A and B are shown apart, each in its own frame.
Chain A
Amino acid sequence: MNSFEISPRRTLVVVGNGMVGHKLLEVLLDRGATAEWDIVTFCEEGRLAYDRVGLSSFFDGTSAEELSLVQPGFFERFGLTVHVGDAVASIDTKTAKVTSRNGLTVAYDALVLATGSYPFVPPLPGNDAPGCFVYRTLDDLEAIRDYAKSVRAGAVVGGGLLGLEAANALKCLGLETHVVEFADRLMPMQVDDAGSSALRRRIEDLGVSIHTGMRTEEIVRDRRGRVRGMHFANEGPNGPIDDLKVGMVVFSAGIRPRDELAKAAGLLMGERGGVIVDQACRTSDPRIYAIGECALAPDGGTARRRIYGLVAPGYHMARVVADRILGGDAEFRGADMSTKLKLLGIDVASFGDAFATAPGAEAVTYSDPLANVYQRLVVGPPDRKQRRQVTGGMLVGDASLYQTLVQMVRGDMPTPEHPEELIFPARSGTGPVTMGVGGLSDTAVICSCNNVDKGSICSAIGRGAHTVADMKDCTSAGTGCGGCVPLVTELLRFEMKRLGLEVSNALCEHFAYSRQELFDLVRVHRITSFSELVTSHGNGKGCEICKPAVASMLASLGGGYILDGEQAALQDTNDHFLANLQRDGTYSVIPRVPGGEITPDQLIAIGQVAKDFGLYTKITGAQRIDLFGARVDQLPDIWRRLVDVGMESGHAYGKALRTVKSCVGNTWCRFGVQDSVTLAIDLELRYRGLRAPHKLKAAVSGCTRECAEAQGKDFGVIATERGWNVYVCGNGGMKPQHGVLLAADLDRETVFRYLDRFLMFYIRSADRLERTNVWFNKLEGGIEHLRRVVIDDTLGICAELEADMAHHVATYECEWKATIDDPERVKRFRSFVNSDQPDPNVVFVTERGQPRPARPGEEKPDPALLATGTGL
């Protein structure tokens, strides 16, 4: 057998199999290094390289296998030697040998240090108590996950990039999560004060508490020595501030290079740690290289050096070293520290000269406190043509411009003449792009019944469709189920305003006022009937738009039974028959189930009613039971039975409070911290029957796990260890939107007081059929404004709002009980005025053991009997 030995084989030892160490192996293999080199690598952890950047996804269900960066069989296939669970203990630079902890000695021709970093743990008393963790390895994460099962709340020390990653992990584990930062803002290295504020508000909206400017003095321990809180040196207005009660603490306050091996080997070190390397990533020993977070590497062309804590510069160093080992002359002169991250689901990007520190640099900022979007664009000094180049920036909340801007910073793309238009497109007349309808893409479907997208609606506006009625004619949008009409209206107003057209807020052709203006007229002039209002402030006889809207206002202002006298003629059929009209003309019935709590007797009664009246039953999304298929003439009999077992109207038919959904709370749940069911019931009983511009949904969760989904409701309450957090203006429907935190850690009375004010303020000022989230998105000043009105009472209306609510609470009566008790009121519930015969055209078939309306073709009524008219 012939063998050709072109050159003697050499040995490369790679110390560390982290992301950067592994990248080096991949590049070397890619470039055929194994032809010349035997490669031996030491991996201290029990696991081969994995994606440390995506670490927190471990808590979203990503497995350790999925995080792995190493293809199965990688080392075997390429003939590499890997020692897993063993680390290099010493380097003898004279003999060029390494000795491992397990006693293995390997001679090397080249050695690469890729030992990475370790988390910095501040020197605090108690920092090693059970319950203290760092956030670096999968082992750390597993330990955190296991310990989290026994605690309710956890704190992360460090509000930088890694700290927020760790906070995400605690949140994913269902803990009440706190972030404690020494600096006055979050991510001080990447974003400025304003950007940090936007980020903070967004994170707080997720239910994570942020504490900045905190001087931690001690990790407080219980008798058994386990973590039970954090003690601070800060002074509040009333003396020392309270300890933060948490069962675990995760330190994520920065990294330090793992350089002890290099130091012991006598390599040249930085004053504050890190192995000094040159542009070849070579240490003071020519056979030894260092890459990644252990290396103190060049930062620009000067003698400045830094530790690079990002993976991209680490990879760059790996490529440089691979090239050098193979005889090349690649250089590492510094790296772009541009970063774009998704922290807790929030986009954050920082790039180039983000803080505008270069001479002549100027910054343009765009801040949208409603959407908590912050964008800062940095431009360099003007050139001869007075043009400025984009040199850096930061983006919080919306980083969709990142790629474009980074390309401009790199000079790969020309900067436009007016760079500020990049973040603030007002100059070109297109208006700022905000969270509302303006932020929807042209292909976003608005009307799903007729598949009409935003682009079609906008072009119809351009062709002259300026009212919802025009829009229905032009595009069919809103002519199906009608659920998109508020969205169509919002889009119409947004687009017309954008095009400079006059926007009418008139409710309909009978009133030249908006709902809010009409509400004020009704309130101020103490108007009690529609005819009075239309005579004094409107024209014509009204219509299906203004009549129910006015009926709702009269009801909100305490008009009593909604079907007496003239009010009867104003109500939509749902309110008129106190039931929900279904597509076949029958009605559905939903009794109130406050908080979702129901007795066995009530369940049995509902089941018996459904059986006796042949109704279809279904559990609703709001923890109630809906009974379908009731004819008008059956409604009073059904309700007599329900009222007899103590049930009352659920107002599913009204633009009114539906359910206050709840989780089971600390009455039963191991994790609950408050009695969510009782609060939900009390809230529901307080606001039941309250008529509003649109339906109101609510929920109360007994802990931060949020099982009741309170952040997706018009108002939601989440228990904390200190009280209740109140969220408002969330929505789970066609445009899901997280509720925003109105106030935190309230006692019960304050929850009621703030919600009384909030609800009445919404009722006064919202448009017809405008849910709280849509109303909120249009509210100038956003949550700060809402807080000023509802909490600080800057408009001086809180006493009035509370009085209005007190009146509602005092005068509430169950509409169904009031109906069945009065034979005159029952009279209207007949299918026919001249016959007791039930409606012969209501036809059911049976499906899965229950009745449902017959579909066309299943049961055809005799056409000769129908008088169905013409045209369809």
Chain B
Amino acid sequence: MRPHLSARMSPPPTEVWEDVCALADLVPGRGVAALVGKLQVAVFLVDDVDGKGELFALSNFDPFSEAFVLSRGIVGTRGDRLKVASPIYKQSFDLRTGESLDVPGVSVPVFGVRVVDGRVEVSHPA
């Protein structure tokens, strides 16, 4: 098993932030796919009850179907964990940690994501 890459939790020192789209391009509750360098990243906007939004970025790769599809999954909650369900076989991944909620030990990489001047930026290792 390769080490768990948790970019969001501990960005590598040489991280680069890359502009991907306007915040207005995102639909609350859905994701989009972005090419960051040569990586496919799924970016999700989750709207909060009080009207504030929160952004998440995971790898777009679904390890169960081996297809690049996570950005097209449905966002929701399991208990109090925010998650996205793969559109292929419906396994869920924690939006914060990338962990599979169905199969222990499986996870997808997470990326740093932020909003600067109405633009969405994703970090990736340089």
Closest 8 CB pairs between A and B?
A569-B29, A871-B106, A543-B76, A573-B87, A585-B67, A544-B85, A869-B108, A833-B32
Residue B88, interface by CB 8 Å: yes
Residue pair B75, A569 in contact (C-beta under 8 Å):
yes
Offer 15 A-B interface pairs, CB within 8 angstroms, sorted by A: A482-B90, A541-B29, A543-B83, A581-B69, A581-B72, A584-B67, A585-B68, A833-B21, A866-B59, A867-B39, A868-B59, A869-B98, A870-B4, A870-B5, A871-B105
The 8 Å CB contact of B72, one of A543, A566, A576, is A576
Interface residues of A in 455-492 (CB under 8 A from B): 469, 472-473, 479-482
Which stretch of A404-412, A436-444, A712-720, A834-842 is in the interface? A834-842
Cβ–Cβ < 8 Å partners of A479 in chain B: 89
Residue pair B27, A865 in contact (C-beta under 8 Å):
no
Q: Name A's B-contacting residues (CB within 8 A).
A: 469, 472-473, 479-482, 509-510, 540-544, 546-548, 566, 568-574, 576-577, 581, 583-585, 827-828, 831-835, 837, 839, 841, 856, 865-872
User: Taking the nearest CB of chain B, how far is it from the CB of A89, in angstroms?
Assistant: 79
Cβ–Cβ < 8 Å partners of B19 in chain A: 834
Closest A residue, CB atoms, query B99: A871
Closest B residue, CB atoms, query A472: B102
Interface residues of B in 64-122 (CB under 8 A from A): 64-69, 72-80, 82-83, 85, 87-90, 92, 98, 100, 102-103, 105-109
4 additional A-B pairs beyond A834-B19, A867-B59, A870-B107, beta carbons within 8 Å, are: A482-B90, A544-B85, A572-B74, A832-B33
Count of B interface residues, CB-CB < 8 Å? 59
Cβ–Cβ < 8 Å partners of B28 in chain A: 566, 569
Residue pair B69, A573 in contact (C-beta under 8 Å):
yes
Residue B25, interface by CB 8 Å: yes
Cβ–Cβ < 8 Å partners of B20 in chain A: 833-834
User: Taking the nearest CB of chain B, how far is it from the CB of A546, in angstroms?
Assistant: 8
The 8 Å CB contact of B85, one of A480, A543, A583, A832, is A543
Give Cα distance in the complex from A469 to B2, angstroms: 28
User: Taking the nearest CB of chain B, how far is it from the CB of A529, in angstroms?
Assistant: 12
The 8 Å CB contact of A542, one of B59, B76, B108, is B76
Residue pair B61, A833 in contact (C-beta under 8 Å):
no
Cβ–Cβ < 8 Å partners of B68 in chain A: 585, 839, 841
Cβ–Cβ < 8 Å partners of B38 in chain A: 865
Cβ–Cβ < 8 Å partners of A473 in chain B: 102
User: Taking the nearest CB of chain B, how far is it from the CB of A473, in angstroms?
Assistant: 8
User: Taking the nearest CB of chain B, how far is it from the CB of A573, in angstroms?
Assistant: 4
Residue pair B72, A872 in contact (C-beta under 8 Å):
no
Residue B55, interface by CB 8 Å: no
Residue pair A568, B27 in contact (C-beta under 8 Å):
yes
User: Taking the nearest CB of chain A, how far is it from the CB of B114, in angstroms?
Assistant: 15
Closest B residue, CB atoms, query A539: B77
Residue pair A869, B27 in contact (C-beta under 8 Å):
no
Residue pair B59, A869 in contact (C-beta under 8 Å):
yes
User: Taking the nearest CB of chain A, how far is it from the CB of B99, in angstroms?
Assistant: 9
Give Cα distance in the complex from A576 to B28, angstroms: 14
Residue pair A834, B21 in contact (C-beta under 8 Å):
yes
A581-B88 contact in complex given A569-B29, A832-B35, C-beta closer than 8 Å:
yes
Cβ–Cβ < 8 Å partners of B21 in chain A: 833-834
User: Taking the nearest CB of chain B, how far is it from the CB of A531, in angstroms?
Assistant: 9
User: Taking the nearest CB of chain A, how far is it from the CB of B52, in angstroms?
Assistant: 14
Residue pair A583, B61 in contact (C-beta under 8 Å):
no
The 8 Å CB contact of A541, one of B35, B46, B69, B103, is B46
Cβ–Cβ < 8 Å partners of A827 in chain B: 25
Residue pair A833, B106 in contact (C-beta under 8 Å):
no
Residue pair B33, A833 in contact (C-beta under 8 Å):
yes
Residue pair A541, B82 in contact (C-beta under 8 Å):
yes
Residue pair A543, B77 in contact (C-beta under 8 Å):
yes
Residue pair A872, B67 in contact (C-beta under 8 Å):
no
The 8 Å CB contact of B109, one of A482, A566, A585, A869, is A869
Residue B13, interface by CB 8 Å: no
